[in-house]
Amino acid sequence: MNSTSSSSGQQAFSRITGTGGCLPPRRLSNADMVQMLAARGIESSDDWIVERTGIRYRHFADEGVYCSDLAATACRHALEAAGVKAGAVDLIIVATSTPDMVFPSTACILQHKLGIAGCAAFDVQAVCAGFVYALTVADAMIRAGSARCALVVGSEIFSRILDFDDRTTCVLFGDGAGAVVLQASATPGILASDLHADGRHTGILCVPGSVAGGHVTGSPLLTMDGPAVFKLAVGVLEAAARAVLEKSGRTEADVDWLVPHQANIRIMQGTARKLKLPLDKLVCTVDAHGNTSAASVPLALDVAVRQGRIQPGDTVMLEGVGGGFTWGAVLLDY
């Protein structure tokens, strides 16, 4: 019998059974960022940041804290919520653009920190769409019988790749991790997914550096064409959302919650309006977390679950868009 088949021979599906999050304790307000910029002779203001992005706070990791550390904390919370022991995990996928090191993968380092050995563990690099990509891969592996219990994680320390001389980007990002336990189930949880990339737009959001000969070649700092990203993001997120609705035989009216990538409140609200979803169905944490890249969707999901807003049986739309240019959506019954 297929390892993920039920006793009646039904095809296995996958369901999220637990969520977890981790934010570093150091929280910086917009006033803190304005002061930091002023020390560099750069003018900004709380009003300027909030009006353009909706962001009021972000968290930065302390020196000596790594992506895998944040991921491990988020995973422990998710395992506890699911009532699952770490030893039951047979797949670990980490979505990150800020790994602990060039190699091995952050997933392998995380595996060791969780006291697990032997299961498959690897990273996915799709920047801010990374968690949606990773969740889709984990769902496919469970459906194929390659795994029964997966940890799917988004974890980032973007504060270490920010250009603090660029006020248009350094105020946007924060650090954090979010995780879910995804388990085989006889009833569908993940209903449909839709993933895309368009490498023609690599230049609008990137860190154009690499390691060669013991030195960094190019720039190790984030650069972004904000207007170009904004223009692309709203359109592709709407298209991906409609694609997963069509694949699953659902409509906008069936969506109880929209959990988009937490990059910019205007992009998020614009996507909700295009889908004719009331804004009270939009899960928003960008004001408190900033843009945590691959961690933003699972962090927002965890917040909504722990607040009691997302309940078992609710239909949830997850969306991500990021450098690459990458984007995608997942529709699920929680």
Closest to 93 in 3D by CA, of 227, 294, 306: 294
Measure the CA dihedral 77/83/86/90, to 10°.
-110
> Can 13-185 and 190-333 be said to share one CATH topology?
yes
The confidence score (pLDDT) of residue 11 equals 65
In this prediction, residue 152 has a pLDDT band, given cuts at 50, 70 and 90, of very high
Q: Over the stretch 242-275, which tens digit does the pLDDT of each residue have?
A: 999 999 999 999 999 999 999 999 999 999 999 9
What whole-number distance in Å separates Cα of residue 161 and Cα of residue 145? 38
Q: What is the rounded average pLDDT of the residues 164-177?
A: 97
Class of domain 190-333: alpha beta
In the chain the first and final C-alpha atoms are separated, in Å, by 27
Chain segment 293-326, per-residue pLDDT in tens: 999 999 999 999 999 999 999 999 999 999 999 9
Query: Which amino acid appears at position 235 of this protein?
Result: G
State both tokens at 71: 């991921």
Residue 18's contacts (CB-CB under 8 Å, 6 or more residues apart) are 78, 79, 80, 81, 82, 83, 84, 180, 181
Distance CA 156, CA 158 (A): 6
What residue ranges do the domains of the chain occupy?
13-185, 190-333
Least confident of 10-19, 95-104, 236-245, 310-319: 10-19
The secondary structure of residue 173, as a DSSP letter, is B
| Confidence at 10, pLDDT banded by 50, 70, 90 | low
Q: How confident is the model at residue 7 (pLDDT cuts 50, 70, 90)?
A: very low
The confidence score (pLDDT) of residue 265 equals 95
Would you please indicate which residues are annotated as catalytic (active-site) residues? 128, 261, 291
pLDDT in tens, 99-138: 999 999 999 999 999 999 999 999 999 999 999 999 999 9
Question: Does 5 have pLDDT greater than 80?
Answer: no
In the chain, pLDDT over 90 holds for what percent of residues? 95
Q: Pick 13-185's CATH classification: 3.40.47.10, 2.40.110.10, 2.10.69.10, 3.30.390.50.
A: 3.40.47.10
